[in-house]
Amino acid sequence: MKRTLIFFTLILFFSHLGFSQNLEQKAKIGNVQSMFDLAKEYYSGVGRFQNKANALIWFEKAANKNHIESMYHTAQMYEKGESTKVDLRKAFNYYLLAAERGHFSSQLVVAKKLEKGEGVKKSDSRAYLWYRVCAEREETLACRKMGDYFKEGKIVSKDHSQAKFWYEKAAQKNDIEAKSSLAYLYIVNEGLAPNVDKAKTLNKEPLLKQIPLSFFVEGMINMSESGDENDKRAFQNLSKAKQMGIKQAYYHIAMLNYEGKGTQKNILQAFKIMETLPSEYDSELGLLMANAYKNGEGVEIDTIKAIENYKKAAKADNPEACRSLSQIYKTGWGVKKNLKEAGFWQQKAFSIENPKSIDKSKSTKRK
């Protein structure tokens, strides 16, 4: 029995040895599939001694003969620096070759690399196109990314209905971040009818997992419900979201500080945050800050800052700010009296409120 076992073991050994030698011979004479199979054996150490340097040689040879799976494996080895120096540029190029030939995993990698600028120049537009390819076959991450593009209006026009469509696809596959983003759409009241109950349900799991956006959503839910305790929870959740880099939280934290809701009233802190906000807030917050500096509401009267903020709001087409500037130049409050300047701002206020009755480009543009 023992001799029989040894006999069969020897047969298996020599037959596999013959197969390995035959595989290498086929690879050497240019058989692409044999090159790939040989590379796999060298990489895994199954069928021959492990030798990742040889694995890379044969993967790359097969890749250069249009073997798609070899392109992917070659890219991975260059990306990780396995038996070679890390070369992100080469890695990307091999991923791209495979992606262009329909390799699913490579297509998603290419989208990520273009989004981050790893091994290639960062390109949101090219990343979008590859994410779109992946999303069309309902790749979970790609569906969520498509939702992000439409939610943020990046590369494509902002469209919360489209964002909802893609987030729902990802959420159906239990993507936690997509659930949080979908909850966001239901609470921000932009493009979709607000639905606090849906937002609450969708946001439960992301909040448990401490997804950054979920704290913003929870804070907005708290703000939608009256009472001092909800104000406090709103401030806490929005502060957490701000700490985690959620930019949408900054405006609301500023306003809670300004109004003294959920926290002690702190107008200086509110203004400090307001000054960091993007220009889309200039019309509302410029006027608010200007009035405060003009009237000494929570801050010392400061004519320079008042005029500065009125102009910021006026340039963002706030008619009330324009009228305030007109009055300032008419009366000479903090500036030299200037009736021409006063007339300019009065005219601009009128043109903003009556766009059809006057040619704004001629009447409100300085010569």
Q: Which domain holds residue 171?
A: 138-205
The pTM for the full model equals 0.81
**118 and 162 part of one domain:** no
**29 and 73 part of one domain:** yes
**78 and 178 part of one domain:** no
Q: Is residue 237 in a domain?
A: no
Band of residue 9 on the pLDDT scale cut at 50, 70, 90:
very low
Q: Is residue 103 in a domain?
A: yes
Q: Is residue 26 in a domain?
A: yes
CATH of the domain at 86: 1.25.40.10
For 228-276, give the secondary structure using H, E and C. HHHHHHHHHHHHHHHHCCCCHHHHHHHHHHHHCCCCCCCHHHHHHHHCC
R_g over Cα of the chain: 32
Residues 29-71: pLDDT tens digits?
889 999 999 999 999 998 889 999 999 999 999 999 999 999 9
Q: Is residue 223 in a domain?
A: no
**129 and 146 part of one domain:** no
Residues 109-138: pLDDT tens digits?
999 999 999 999 999 999 999 999 999 999
**111 and 154 part of one domain:** no
**61 and 105 part of one domain:** yes
Q: Is residue 22 in a domain?
A: yes
How far, in Å, CA of 71 to CA of 64, rounded? 8
**122 and 143 part of one domain:** no
Interacting residues of 341 by C-beta distance below 8 A, sequence separation 6+: 325, 329
Band of residue 356 on the pLDDT scale cut at 50, 70, 90:
confident
**127 and 166 part of one domain:** no
Of 160, 179, 205, the residue at which a domain comes to its end is 205
**115 and 163 part of one domain:** no
Q: Is residue 64 in a domain?
A: yes
**157 and 83 part of one domain:** no
Find the mean pLDDT for residues 318-347.
95
Residues 239-270: pLDDT tens digits?
999 999 999 999 999 999 999 999 999 999 99
For residue 363, pLDDT over 70 is answered with no
**38 and 145 part of one domain:** no
Of 177, 205, 233, the residue at which a domain comes to its end is 205
Of 58, 51, 120, 131, which is closest to residue 83 (Cα–Cα)? 51
Interacting residues of 218 by C-beta distance below 8 A, sequence separation 6+: 203, 207, 233, 237
Q: Is residue 129 in a domain?
A: yes
Domain count, the chain: 2
**32 and 91 part of one domain:** yes
Q: Is residue 304 in a domain?
A: no
